[in-house]
Amino acid sequence: MKTKFKLIILVVAMAGLFASCDYDNYDEPGSFLEGNIVYNGEAINVSSKDVSFQLWEPGWQKSYPINVEVAQDGSYSSLLFDAQYKLVIPSNQGPWRTKINSESGSDTIYVNLNGNKKLDIEVEPYFMIRNSQFSVSGSNVTATFQAEKIITDAGAKNIERVNFYINKTQFVDFRSSSNVASVEIGGGDITNPASISMTLTVPELVPAQNYVYARVGIKIQGVEDMIFSPVQKVDL
């Protein structure tokens, strides 16, 4: 009798535990917010791990932002709970000026997330890199591109320098531990922004590989984050 009673208690307790587990837990976030940072629909390439924006969800007692990192090709993706968010790009983030959003009357963007959503964020970059091309001759790689000045009003800024980076991996920017070569032109030495050409010699790679990844970037005066061309794989 006593054992039976104990058994009953045990079963009830376990049933309670299992049932309550279900009750206690929240659903995991299930909606993707993804897209690109764009100018006229064209994605803006930046350095990896440097540019991010914030999502705020109003209505809580204390507010903490959700930071969303922008990948080097200008895309972003975040897995979130369905809610009404305010999307803010903090000042001095990215090589661009934010645009005034018609709905909020400021640069805040209201994001009503209900299921997966694609959202391209339109900004105004100071410069765009156009027609970047990489050509190989021997162990030399030549990059040619145009630097197009987008902002030409009072807020216009000049080029501080342009850089051409080559890396063994797909992550190509000034972060240099795996950069194999780079070359730089100062802003004052650029004669024709519509046709910039830079050449690099690829050193011997250890371990050997017959391709590299390349891209060019512009450092704008007074702006911390650089703007880049898309990464391109170059076969040697």
Partner 1 sequence: MKKFVYIFIVLFTLSWGCNDANFLDREPTNILIDDQIWGDNSLILSVVADLYDRIPEFQTISNWWNYADFDEGFGSAFGDYWRHKNSDWGYGEWAINWKDYYKLMREVNLFIQKADSELTDDLQTADKARFVAEGRFIRASIYFEMVKRMGGVPLILEPLTYDFGGDPSYLEYPRSKESEIYDFVINELEAIKNDLPNDVNVKGRATKGLVLAMQARAAIYAGSIAKYGATTPNVSLPGGEVGIPASMADGYYTKALSAAEELINSGTYALYNKKENLAENFTNLFLDKSGNTEVIFVKDYKLQSGKVQPFTVQNQPWSSAEDLEGGRLNPSLNLVQSFELLDNTFSTFETNTSEGDYVYYNSPKDIFAGRDARLEGTIIIPGSKFKGKELDIWAGYIDADGNITTGSTYGQRKHFPTEADPEIPVVGYDGPIDELEFSAQTGFYCRKFMDTATGSGQRGLNSEVWWVRYRLSEVYLNAAEAAFELGNTTKAADYLNVVRRRAGFTTDLTAADMSFDRIVHERKVELAFEGHILWDMKRWRLAHIVWNGESVELTNNPEKADEVSNRIFALWPYKYYAPESPNHGKYIFKEVLPRVVTNADRFRLGNYYSEINDETVNNNNLIIKNPNQN
CA distance 27 to 81: 9
Q: How far is CA 164 from CA 57, 108, 160, 210, in A?
A: 40, 34, 14, 19
Q: Which is nearer to partner 1, 36 or 93 (CB)?
A: 93
Q: Which is nearer to partner 1, 136 or 181 (CB)?
A: 181
Q: How far is the CB of 2 from partner 1 (least distance, A)?
A: 53
Q: Which is nearer to partner 1, 141 or 225 (CB)?
A: 225
CA distance 102 to 114: 21
Q: Which is nearer to partner 1, 81 or 174 (CB)?
A: 174
Q: How far is the CB of 176 from partner 1 (least distance, A)?
A: 4
Q: How far is the CB of 145 from partner 1 (least distance, A)?
A: 21
Q: How far is CA 28 from CA 90, 105, 229, in A?
A: 28, 33, 37
| H-helix or E-strand spanning residue 11 | helix 2-24
Provide the residue count of the chain. Answer: 236
Q: Are 220 and 95 in contact (CB under 8 A)?
A: yes
Q: How far is the CB of 161 from partner 1 (least distance, A)?
A: 11
Q: Which is nearer to partner 1, 55 or 143 (CB)?
A: 55
Give residues in contact with partner 1 (CB under 8 A): 52, 54, 62-65, 67, 90-93, 174-177, 179, 182, 222-224
Q: How far is the CB of 133 from partner 1 (least distance, A)?
A: 25
Q: Compute the half-sphere exposure of residue 115: CA atoms within 13 Å on the CB side of its CA.
A: 0
